[in-house]
């Protein structure tokens, strides 16, 4: 005889709870760490894998759709909450940005800005030799500037450009003063010899500012010694430097 069996009854409807951080639903009583769908807890598994594989279950159950952006914490998201995108760049973009900055540092050459050479406020008196010196400097600098431009030497171009601007200005303002043929007094372009108190004899030629070189016996006409000597005659005693000196010779 067969034992009496209870009549068949349909299983009670299961209560579905929505996961606030995923697009799937799970039955009541299921543990959160045992998702209904997906086999691992790694990124792309768990509730997220189930949401991709079974999107209809989430729709039927009315589960809240997870809007958590990739890379953010689960605690940062909530049902229906849209979080802002990550502010930091992706690793690949960050690496490319760092490589780009490194490339710029290696290839770009920092050129120091050089101040312009000071130009004297005095009239630019020059001798004939002084004018030739200015023109020779200009020709040399122009050749060096062209060579640096062809080689792409930015530091040299900056330095040579400054020198070219200075000497071009001096060439433009140069005033050639011819020395007197038979000077009776000390003038621009003259060569004068003085006798100091200690017996030393010194000879100077008074020239322009750019051509002056005291080691070679030429002094600028705006120097203190040249100003003291200008207009003096033979036998005059002047204050030359720290001691007195007598003018003993004047020639052109």
Residue 148: in which H helix or E strand, if any?
Answer: helix 128-151
The per-residue pLDDT string of the chain (252 residues; one tens digit each, 9 = 90 and over) reads 555 666 666 666 555 555 555 554 455 455 555 555 444 444 545 544 444 455 555 455 554 445 555 555 544 445 555 555 555 555 555 555 555 554 444 445 576 788 999 999 999 999 999 999 999 999 999 999 999 999 999 999 999 999 999 999 999 999 999 988 889 999 999 999 999 999 999 999 999 999 999 999 999 999 999 999 999 999 999 998 888 999 999 998
- Strand 25-27 to 125-126 pairing: unpaired
Burial of residue 101 (number of CB atoms within 10 Å: 0-12, 13-18, 19+): exposed
Quick one: pLDDT at residue 157?
Answer: 93
Nearest to 49 by CA among 16, 78, 23, 75: 23
Neighbouring C-beta atoms of residue 27, cutoff 10 Å: 11
Under a CB-based contact definition with an 8 Å cutoff, are residues 22 and 66 in contact? Answer: yes
Under a CB-based contact definition with an 8 Å cutoff, are residues 89 and 97 in contact? Answer: yes
CA distance 153 to 113: 14
**Tokens describing residue 217:** 């016996």
Residue ranges in 54-108 assigned as alpha helix (H): 55-61, 91-107
- Long-range contact pairs involving 236-241 (C-beta distance under 8 Å, separation at least 24): 238/194, 240/194, 240/196
Neighbouring C-beta atoms of residue 162, cutoff 10 Å: 16
CA angle 120, 126, 127 (to 5 degrees): 160
- Long-range contact pairs involving 179-183 (C-beta distance under 8 Å, separation at least 24): 179/127, 179/252, 180/252, 181/252, 182/252, 183/250, 183/251, 183/252
Quick one: pLDDT at residue 102?
Answer: 47
Quick one: pLDDT at residue 74?
Answer: 46
Quick one: pLDDT at residue 77?
Answer: 47
Neighbouring C-beta atoms of residue 65, cutoff 10 Å: 14
| Close Cβ partners of 122 (under 8 Å, ≥ 6 residues apart) | 209, 222
């Amino acid at each position: 005889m067969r034992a009496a069996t209870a009549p068949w009854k349909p299983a009670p409807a299961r209560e579905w709870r929505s996961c606030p951080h995923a697009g799937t639903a799970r039955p009541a009583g299921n543990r959160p760490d045992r998702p209904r769908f997906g086999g691992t807890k790694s990124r792309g598994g768990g509730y997220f894998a189930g949401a991709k594989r079974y999107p209809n279950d989430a729709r039927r159950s009315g589960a809240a759709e997870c809007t958590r952006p990739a890379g953010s914490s689960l605690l940062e998201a909530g049902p229906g909450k849209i979080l802002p995108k990550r502010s930091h760049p992706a690793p690949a973009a960050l690496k490319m940005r760092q490589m780009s900055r490194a490339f710029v540092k290696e290839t770009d050459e920092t050129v120091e800005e050089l101040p312009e050479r000071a130009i004297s406020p005095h009239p630019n008196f020059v001798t004939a030799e002084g004018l030739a010196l200015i023109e020779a400097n200009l020709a040399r600098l122009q050749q060096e500037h062209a060579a640096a431009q062809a080689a792409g030497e930015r530091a040299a171009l900056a330095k040579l450009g400054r020198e070219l601007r200075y000497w071009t200005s001096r060439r433009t303002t140069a005033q050639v003063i011819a020395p007197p043929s038979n000077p009776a007094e000390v003038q621009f372009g003259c060569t004068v010899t003085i006798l100091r108190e200690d017996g030393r004899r010194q000879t100077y030629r008074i020239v322009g500012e750019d051509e002056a070189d005291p080691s070679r016996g030429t002094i600028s006409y705006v120097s203190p010694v040249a100003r003291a000597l200008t207009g003096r005659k033979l036998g005059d005693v002047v204050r030359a430097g720290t001691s007195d000196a007598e003018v003993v010779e004047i020639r052109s």
